[in-house]
Chain A
């Protein structure tokens, strides 16, 4: 689940990496949440910075990271849960 804002340039980069990852691992589900449209959810999830990415596994949050990271690091964070 990626919390973003349309104006966040780094979200674009992150999304680009996610897209690549999804190609190889289609089982990964990505939910994108616009914090301007869903401020309550953002508040509920205690999201203050964007992009903030929450990793869920079996409906439980297993990892959270803020900002953009390299593709390699992104894969390293997500793939163990795939």
Chain B
């Protein structure tokens, strides 16, 4: 514009952005003497706008100075630089050393992710210090300082932490100033390249680098965040045994199974944070071989691409070695044996965990201590001696006592092992706690003693029935040395015992036959007593540690069996004796019954009293008595009376009814028999003579004794001795003989049915027992006696007995004698239903009375005859005495005469009234 275009014009008019009103306001502010600076655009003559910086300053009240600074070139330059920066993808920076001002272009700020506003030196330096990696920032500062000190040009790679991660930037710089000093340093900032600036300038270095990486023995590979390979060196190819092309197409997970997606994410998260770390991985080759690698991983970001650069070393062998080492250490520490290592200095260098645990000592209390302190009766001199021996023998074993922390000792078995390791001598000592073993030893010893001392015979057989063990008792039975049967089959021990018998719980019986001298399994065996032995063993099956054993224990039961046999024999004898005694008891009971009680002899007959007198005369001498008489006269009663009144009354009277025994048993009954004398003679039996020894033997019905036995009986009577049937032993007896018979022995002798010598031997003191008919005067008292007896038995009260009946009985001839009378009376009492007893006597018997009386020549007295005749006549007339049809008429007697006779003869009405 020309001067005229400017002077006189309104400033607001020139100022494209200023209004008149605003200018007025501005002028008021100038009144306050405050300079004012602002940027605006002024209108040029061509109606263009030029950016200027306006400085207003008041001169006086009327004038203000307006200074204008053209900004057009500055903006342009700045915009030109910005334009270039955007398209060159680079920012620029200026450091004004004089004003200490940093300037960074927009592009530069974006690359560094710096705020647009912060440009003070302090703030910028602080930010750069945070963003750049430390080593890069330090290097950059040094480079810039160098550029400021002397004109210089540089190019630098820096790594900057951004929101996208660490990015690599390239920063260039150049010093600017005058001849005296550098006033500015300017430069560019742009995204960095992987290649080193030096490499780009040295192809040989590139090739060498490539060769070195490729051929390195370390495994070097680069991977992407998606866990794929960018590059693998030859070592990787060789180790994993894949083709390179194959590897580059595989995800890492195929060779590192543990590198899952989650593991991958964790890996990259850590890598981005730490940029570099070490880790171990397990790789698997194509053939499945496991390879342990220790990797150093580095993070790179090249052109926004993240790369993990890994340098790996194969540590497989080292790992194996470490594992082996740990296993060895674990084995040592946890071995059942207590382990110590010592050296010739006598100190303990190592103690296993087991040792510490068992002894209760801590490691500090053991390691470094003299070993002899922990063993009973040990000393350093002894330790030195041991070392000398150990060097020679290399291995030694012994037993000793090991000290525990609590103060007591335990028995231990010690194995010493000499070895040299890395030039040093060691004694590796294994100790085994023998406390329990010792206890077991004691138990075994005691068990062994018990086994050998027991009376029981004990045999152990293996599963295959070979002999494993025989205790002392069994060996004594066999009379064999201890090893005679060991390992031999059971057959040699248990002959005739089947294998089937070896069952759990089974009793095995076998006989040990006597052998004089014999060979048995190579051992001479002799029996001490020559007799066979019966052995009874119980079989028990025992399983121990999966092996089956047969344990047999038992005893020589020979004596027991013998005792049992003896007992059985004794029992049989006792049974027989019992039977005999029962029979005897029965006999004696019979004897003791009233029937045979001498005190029950009832008689008023003078004749019978004479018989009794004979009894009293012969009773207390040992004379043989022969009682004769009819059946039922009471011969036995008299025999018992003789015995009862004799001096033998305390001993038994043994009765033998010779008529009741079968002929073939009489001899056995009289004289006894030996075992086996005849079929059924299962044992020895005493005869009646033996049983009557010291007492009396009563042979009833001796007339029935077989002729054959009569001679034997005679011998007994003459010599007092005999032999049992089937026996050879002569037996002496002292028995008084009383014989009885209803037979006429004299006649029998005449007929040859009875031995004459025996007859005379028996007939020393004959007693004739009267038949009842010969003492009818006893009938009333006998009737009275029996009626009382039966009344009492039957619970009847009989006060009267029909005298006529009794009288009639007196005339009865009683062929059965006392026994018949007893039966009649018993029957009468049974039939009696009142207190008056009638004694019915049947007609036949009545007729027999008369007839038989005559037949046997029995005469009634005249008075008896009369009496009976009159009674018969009265009965015939029905009791009528006198008058027509009376007995007087029948008897041809005067009535008065008849009545007189009746009174005289004592005939009562009841005698003839039926």
Contacts and interface: CB of A to CB of B under 8 A. Distances in A.
Interface stretch (A1-9, A24-32, A54-62): A1-9
Interface in B359-410: none
A13 B602 contact: no
B645 interface: yes
A16 interface: yes
B792 interface: no
Contacts of B608: 9
B176 interface: no
Nearest to A20: B616
A67 B644 CA distance: 11
A16 B616 contact: yes
Nearest to B778: A7
A33 B635 CA distance: 30
B609 A12 contact: yes
A10 interface: yes
Interface in B17-61: none
A10 B616 CA distance: 10
Contacts of A16: 612-613, 616-617
A9 B598 CA distance: 8
Q: Output the residue of A69, A70, A71 with the most chain B CB within 10 A.
A: A70
Contacts of A72: 620, 647
A6 B606 CA distance: 11
Given A10-B599, A12-B609, A71 B616 contact: yes
Contact of B602 (A8, A17, A71): A8
A68 interface: yes
B227 interface: no
B602 A70 contact: no
Nearest to A7: B781
A19 to B, nearest CB: 9
Given A12-B609, A69-B645, A70-B645, A7 B620 contact: no
B16 interface: no
B604 A13 contact: no
A13 B781 contact: no
Interface in A30-82: 49, 51, 66-73
Contacts of B600: 10
A10 B598 contact: yes
Nearest to A13: B616
B604 A7 contact: yes
Nearest to A15: B616
Contacts of B152: none
B645 A67 contact: no
Nearest to B785: A7
Interface string B585-600: 0000000000001111
A70 B619 contact: yes
Interface in B723-778: 778
A68 B598 contact: yes
Contacts of B613: 12-13, 16
Given A9-B609, A12-B603, A16-B613, A70 B620 contact: yes
B646 interface: yes
Contacts of A10: 598-601
Interface residues of A, number: 19
B551 interface: no
A68 B603 CA distance: 15
A71 B645 contact: yes
A71 B619 CA distance: 9
A16 B367 CA distance: 125
Contacts of A12: 603, 609, 612-613, 616
Interface string B604-625: 1000110011011101100000
A16 to B, nearest CB: 4
A68 B620 contact: no
A66 B599 CA distance: 9
Contacts of A69: 645
Nearest to A16: B616
Interface in B182-199: none
A13 B647 contact: no
A64 to B, nearest CB: 15
B603 A13 contact: no
Contacts of A66: 599
Contacts of A71: 616, 619-620, 645
B895 interface: no
Contacts of B615: 13
A69 B620 CA distance: 11
Contact of B645 (A6, A49, A51, A68): A68
Contact of B641 (A7, A13, A49): A13
B214 interface: no
Contacts of A9: 598, 601-603, 608-609, 612
A32 B645 CA distance: 21
B337 interface: no
B327 to A, nearest CB: 113
B577 interface: no
B620 A13 contact: no
Most chain A Cβ neighbours within 10 Å, of B612, B647, B649: B612
B599 A70 contact: no
Nearest to B648: A70
A79 B572 CA distance: 49
A70 B617 CA distance: 11
A6 B644 CA distance: 21
Contacts of A13: 598, 601, 612-613, 615-616, 641, 645
B817 to A, nearest CB: 15
A47 to B, nearest CB: 14
A17 B646 CA distance: 12
A10 B638 CA distance: 11
Contact of B644 (A7, A49, A68): A68
A70 B603 contact: no
Contacts of B645: 13, 68-71
Contacts of B597: 67
A23 B468 CA distance: 95
B46 to A, nearest CB: 194
A17 B617 CA distance: 9
A70 B622 CA distance: 13
Contacts of A73: 649
A72 B648 CA distance: 11
B612 A70 contact: no
Nearest to B617: A16
B599 A68 contact: yes
A71 to B, nearest CB: 5
A56 B785 CA distance: 30
Contacts of A7: 602-604, 778, 781, 785
Given A9-B603, A51-B599, A68-B599, 5 more contacts: A7-B778, A16-B612, A68-B641, A68-B645, A71-B620
5 contacts: A7-B602, A9-B598, A9-B602, A13-B615, A72-B620
Interface of A: 6-10, 12-13, 16-17, 49, 51, 66-73
Which 8 residue pairs of A and B lie closest in terms of their CB atoms, listed nearest first? A9-B601, A7-B781, A67-B599, A16-B616, A9-B603, A10-B599, A70-B645, A13-B616
Interface of B: 597-604, 608-609, 612-613, 615-617, 619-620, 641, 644-647, 649, 778, 781, 785
